Amino acid sequence: MRSAGAGLRLPHLAAVAATTPSVAWFEIHPENFLANPHARELLMTIAQRYPISVHTVGVSIGSVDGIDRGHLARVRELIDDLDPVLVSGHLAWSTHQGAYLNDLLPLPYDDETLELVSTHVHQVQDALRRPYLVENPSSYVGFGTSTMTEVEFLGELARRTGCGLLCDVSNVFLSGHNMGYDPYRYIDAFPAGAVRELHLGGFVAEDDDATPDGTQILIDTHGTVIAEPVWKLYAHTLRRFGAAPTLIEWDNDIPEPDTLFSEVRKANAVAAEALTDTDSHVVAG
Ligand SMILES: [Fe+2]
């Protein structure tokens, strides 16, 4: 798990099962496999050959309505079959009054939210019987009522629950751009001791009607290659955190497998160079 891995999406399942490409590990969204027996069968074949990481997109740890226990039970059943090396999800909410919203929505960073999210992370870890990693979100707006920074919130969440953290370096970069903070200072303040995994994903710049001065907003599409400034931030992140399992996420406009895997090779090359002269420690893997 020291090498980079790739997001495994449904269009690539059959090819990966048939050709066994040279990739160290894959990450899946369990929600893709809960009602798709054929895909699940292919996944089980792939899981015999590769370490698998499970990244949930439907476990809404920020929802005031509480965790959907039925969904969590279905995810746990898949996890019990897969025995993944890592299990993670987002610091966000995506359900309200039983309805699933097709977005990962932001939270205010205050004591009340910390209490709520901590309770839910405990419930998830108890149900899954393994540590859960919580990922920093991609942000477009913030809450004026927040009383702590995102980094402080994540650090306290990890301290209270024992959860690990998944640092999405692209999210740090684009949120820094959109919210007006320095992504390097964010990484420098991030609780490095809790980091178990990194993410890299593509984003696009779009004109923003809310900023008439012509400033563009960065949208987290996971639909293109990793931007050059993010590779530089990734190198800085590795020098600070040490080696960590790194995933290339690509969820929209999914390319041929080789295009995805070339980004994986690039992540390995950037990591090798960043860590060459660094007295780094291995975070996990
Ligand atoms: Fe991510």
Task: Tell how far the Cα of 115 is from the centroid of ligand 1, in angstroms.
Answer: 24
Q: What is the overall mean pLDDT for the chain?
A: 90
Task: Tell how far the Cα of 203 is from the centroid of ligand 1, in angstroms.
Answer: 11
Kindly state the tokens that stand for 208.
Answer: 């923003």
Q: What is the mean pLDDT of residues 10-30?
A: 97
Q: Are strands 52-55 and 86-90 parallel, antiparallel or unpaired?
A: parallel
pLDDT(47) > 50: yes
Share of the chain above pLDDT 90, in %: 76
Rounded distance between C-alpha atoms, residue 135 and residue 53, angstroms? 14
Whether the Cβ atoms of residue 177 and residue 146 lie closer than 8 Å to each other: no
Residue 282 has what DSSP assignment? B
Sorted by sequence, the CB contacts under 8 Å of residue 30 that are 6+ apart come out as 54, 55, 56, 74, 75, 78, 79
* pTM of the shown model: 0.91
Task: Tell how far the Cα of 249 is from the centroid of ligand 1, in angstroms.
Answer: 7
Task: Tell how far the Cα of 106 is from the centroid of ligand 1, in angstroms.
Answer: 14
Task: Tell how far the Cα of 138 is from the centroid of ligand 1, in angstroms.
Answer: 8
Task: Tell how far the Cα of 229 is from the centroid of ligand 1, in angstroms.
Answer: 17
Whether the Cβ atoms of residue 5 and residue 46 lie closer than 8 Å to each other: no
3-state class (DSSP) for residue 141: coil
3-state class (DSSP) for residue 207: strand
Fill in the amino acid letter for 77: E
Whether the Cβ atoms of residue 218 and residue 227 lie closer than 8 Å to each other: no
Task: Tell how far the Cα of 89 is from the centroid of ligand 1, in angstroms.
Answer: 9
Task: Tell how far the Cα of 9 is from the centroid of ligand 1, in angstroms.
Answer: 14
The dihedral of CA 102, 103, 108, 114: what is its sign? positive
Residue with the bigger pLDDT between 222 and 214: it is 222
Task: Tell how far the Cα of 135 is from the centroid of ligand 1, in angstroms.
Answer: 7
How many CB atoms sit inside 10 A of residue 249's CB?
21
For 174-217, how does the pLDDT look when each residue is reduced to its tens digit (9 = 90+)? Answer: 999 998 999 999 999 999 999 999 999 999 998 877 665 668 89
Fill in the amino acid letter for 213: D
Q: Are strands 164-168 and 133-135 parallel, antiparallel or unpaired?
A: parallel
For 116-139, how does the pLDDT look when each residue is reduced to its tens digit (9 = 90+)? Answer: 999 999 999 999 999 999 999 988
How high is the pLDDT of residue 107? 83
Task: Tell how far the Cα of 19 is from the centroid of ligand 1, in angstroms.
Answer: 26
Task: Tell how far the Cα of 248 is from the centroid of ligand 1, in angstroms.
Answer: 9
pLDDT(284) > 50: no
Rounded distance between C-alpha atoms, residue 102 and residue 74, angstroms? 19
Task: Tell how far the Cα of 200 is from the centroid of ligand 1, in angstroms.
Answer: 7
Q: What is the mean pLDDT of residues 21-42?
A: 97
Task: Tell how far the Cα of 66 is from the centroid of ligand 1, in angstroms.
Answer: 23
Task: Tell how far the Cα of 62 is from the centroid of ligand 1, in angstroms.
Answer: 17
Q: Which residues pair with 95 in a beta bridge?
A: 100
55-64, 69-78, 159-168, 230-239: least confident range? 55-64
pLDDT(281) > 50: no
Rounded distance between C-alpha atoms, residue 4 and residue 7, angstroms? 10
Task: Tell how far the Cα of 252 is from the centroid of ligand 1, in angstroms.
Answer: 13
pLDDT(279) > 90: no
> Would you place residue 144 in the very low, low, confident or very high pLDDT band (cuts 50, 70, 90)?
confident
Kindly state the tokens that stand for 85.
Answer: 């090396």
